[in-house]
Amino acid sequence: MTVDWGHVFAGRVSGMSASEIRELLKLLNRPEIISFAGGIPDPDFFPSSAIAHAYQKVFQSNAGAGSALQYTISEGHTPLREWICTYMGKHGVQAGLDEVLVTSGSQQALDFIGKLLIGPGDLVVVTAPTYLGALQAFSPYEPRYISVPMDEEGPELAALEAALAEKPKFFYLVPDFQNPNGTTVSLARREALLDLCEKHGVPVVEDAAYTELRYDGEPLPPLVGLDAARHGGKPTNVIYCGSFSKTMVPAMRVGWVLATAEVVNRLVLMKQAADLHASTINQIILHDVVSQIFDSHVKTLRSHYKERRDAMLAALAEYAPPGVTWTKPQGGMFVWLELPEHVDGTQLLERAIKEANVAFVPGSAFFADRSGKNTIRMSFSATSPERIREGVRRICELLKRV
């Protein structure tokens, strides 16, 4: 008798299905397609020579190679955690080594947070829209989502307060240049949402994947720093997720969680159960590279990506038909378009690929309730300014036809 796999899968995975856009996005390898779909860094800007040099150093001695290729502790490579503590200190958080866990990308941190905090049917508050990967990480733990709408300053407070009154397990958000809509939460809104979460005793999960990629305006303190300022400089109500994927390279799969030791202790147990530890050699290499070039490299990235952000905004201003509006992000990788009510982002993508050789991600994927049908996300990070201009022109021509 052959196995009926559908019957054997655990109940909690029944809601997990392949996204309808995946088939369409498979077409993106064709060179003639200008893709704004992936939210990925441009490989041309990877610090490849610094990485190569760091590898050479590791393999110069047998002892160095031996420890880099060995198992390590689950908490993470100690010099890297020390670097992270110093970095977070600049953002107003006095964290000790026992308050930091290195994870295999910040995506793994989101999975562990879901595992730690969500039981079947528990409420989780997210913004509308939110990071699709967070929904994918949390959903196997079977939460019910409450989506809080956003304005240009961040989550709307009245809706947030109503959501918090339902006693959710946590509030997840991306305060800087959010994936997908590019919105940055204002300072006043940061303080206000921390007030509300503290009043209701609800933890905040802060995803800082894009924080370093700011092109205009003054950097804002992270929620974890504002929260620490209220609690003697220590992380208290906020769980902070950091990543080296957007500032250095995604392939190393190195990110971190910073939270109270009580939370981190539990997360360390999850790390042991999941994969024992993040790759030893990658942590060693990354520590070497960030110690040498973090600030200068991020500065270079900012100037390249700023040029691309500006190219996308200028092309939209020139070509977009009436009825289309878009965000003007101060950083990150994404511009978010709101289309006239009758335009469906998924149908538009199908036509955009076939008729205009251009791609993006339909916005409804980023809503826990699958609303936002007339929105799309366009990433400018991995496309040259010239191709951005041409791609935006093609999408806008198509929009005029629909």
Ligand X SMILES: Cc1ncc(COP(=O)(O)O)c(C=O)c1O
Binding site for ligand X (CB under 6 A): 39, 105-107, 131, 133, 174, 179, 207, 209, 243, 245, 250, 255
* In the complex, minimum distance from the CB of residue 318 to ligand X, in angstroms, rounded to a whole number: 28
* In the complex, minimum distance from the CB of residue 213 to ligand X, in angstroms, rounded to a whole number: 11
Which residues lie across from 147 on neighbouring strands?
126
What CA–CA distance (Å, rounded) separates 366 from 40? Answer: 17
* In the complex, minimum distance from the CB of residue 372 to ligand X, in angstroms, rounded to a whole number: 17
Which residues lie across from 5 on neighbouring strands?
none
User: Up-side HSE of residue 19: CA atoms within 13 Å toward CB?
Assistant: 17
Q: Between residues 126 and 356, which has the closer beta carbon with respect to ligand X?
A: 126
End-to-end Cα spacing for the chain: 52
* In the complex, minimum distance from the CB of residue 35 to ligand X, in angstroms, rounded to a whole number: 15
What CA–CA distance (Å, rounded) separates 224 from 93? Answer: 7
Closest residue to ligand X, Cβ-based?
Answer: 105
CA distances 176 to 104, 138, 173, 260, 372, Å, are 22, 21, 9, 22, 21
DSSP 43: G
* In the complex, minimum distance from the CB of residue 5 to ligand X, in angstroms, rounded to a whole number: 28
- What residue spans of 45-186 are helical by DSSP H? 48-58, 62-68, 78-90, 105-117, 132-138, 157-164
Number of residues assigned to the chain = 402
Q: Between residues 180 and 391, which has the closer beta carbon with respect to ligand X?
A: 180
